[in-house]
Structure 1
Amino acid sequence: MGDYKKNKVLRSTEIHKLNEIYDVALKVNAEDESFYPILEAMYKELEETRTNFYKLHNKIISIICDKQNADELFKIEDDFRKKIDIQYYRIQAIYTQRLMKPTTQSVAIPGEQLPISAYLNLPKPELPTFSGEVTEFRSFLDQFDARVHTVPHLKAIDKFNLLVSCLKGVARDAIDHLDITADNYTIAYDLLKERFNNVRVIASNLCNNLECSPKLTSDNSKELRSLLDTFSKNVAALQKLGLPTEHWDFILVQLMLKRLTVSRLHDLNFITTTVLFQVMLN
């Protein structure tokens, strides 16, 4: 019980930080320019704060597994997690909409395309990279679309140059035959989507990642965490493809249990299948 209270107190500290950033983001969203530099500074701590929150949240989830009312407590904690996630994504959206804008000394004319130099001072994070792994393409595309492809005042030729700078290996080879011109940008973009956005191939690779995940050789927490991360990442990606993973609990749990040690299996015998799977992946 001591660990339970301690982790909840530590988690509340990270929650307060997220709430503070969220409050400032709402001020920025209301176009209070005095808060723009404050959000710019606080945003740098957002990812670390969210990571700390999840580490402590996962510890709390692990502890409540030992309680008789584990199902009820898990639902309460998971609803709480969802609320924090909404705040996090809202901050991201406000930051992108309000602060990730081209900076230039000249006055932009509506409809005018600005040169790439106007975007060189975009706030971090850096542009994503993609080397040809199909399971990573959708994540790459979402980030590239948000930061480059859908930016209305960025010229096509500059979008193409930025696209090329993000590609490596076979992904770069896929469009290497195209000259870097404004007219070829859309062709290159569509070629990449056609080549790497194959749902069947992506789903097959994700399932293969689950089937080929290594068995634990000991009760080492790092090994277990690595296994859980593998399942969490790939199941989330399958769900994003539109596959009904919410009905796969039993199959996925059986797949995971085959990779656990005997002592780990003994510890988990009393937990229901649904709770077990949700606890493992959160």
Structure 2
Amino acid sequence: MESLLHSQIELFGRITNSFENLKKVGSASITLGIVEARFQALEKNWEKFEAQHDKLLARHWDALADFDYRKNDMQATAEDAYLQQKGLYLDALRTLKGRITTENSVAASDAPHPPHPPRTTLPRIQLPQFFGRYEEWPSFRDLFHSIIGMDTTTTQVEKLHYLKFCLKGEAELLVRNLPTTDENFDRAWNVLINYFENKRLLVRSYISKFTALQKLKGESASDLCQLYHDVMSTVGSLEGIGRPITRGED
């Protein structure tokens, strides 16, 4: 019994002074690993204290009546000390983990970001198709350029794949024989610009489309609305290529 009592008193001292002994290491030397190791030691000491307390109760309870261990209820005192020490360790662990998370976030934000790796699978994008009609070139040009041409994550050869996919008819014939390589995207795009950026032909195409509008068969609201939209479409197209209806040189 005396050996058990001596062991309990020793364990009580370890439990009570556990966190204080950790601080003796010095704040500069306290790491997450050291705190976790000390915390695990506290848990083991408490488990051993409880196990030995159960032995004392089972074998020597009556004999303990004359000892301070039972008189002062050392088990309850040790439990309070254990819970207090455990709380200190949990607070310390939370603080250290929060500090590490913050430091990692700062380091990640300061680190150079690697370039985007080239994609091997092209995404499915709803792209416009161009059949070679002059009046459709400006809208196709602007839409394709905004979706694909300005995309910095898409390689030049991928852009050429997209372009060839979108071209049909006469437009496709212009670039059909260009090999699908990085350097040929700009070449193909310039071929299309040189061929379809003929503003005089664009103006004639828009005017021809306008003069081909069917005459009104009646004065219904829907017919008038359709005529209005057709006229405004032609006006907008002419202004879009820098040839407003106020200019007559074309």
TM-score, normalised relative to structure 2: 0.50
TM-score by length of 1: 0.44
Structure number with bigger Rg: 2
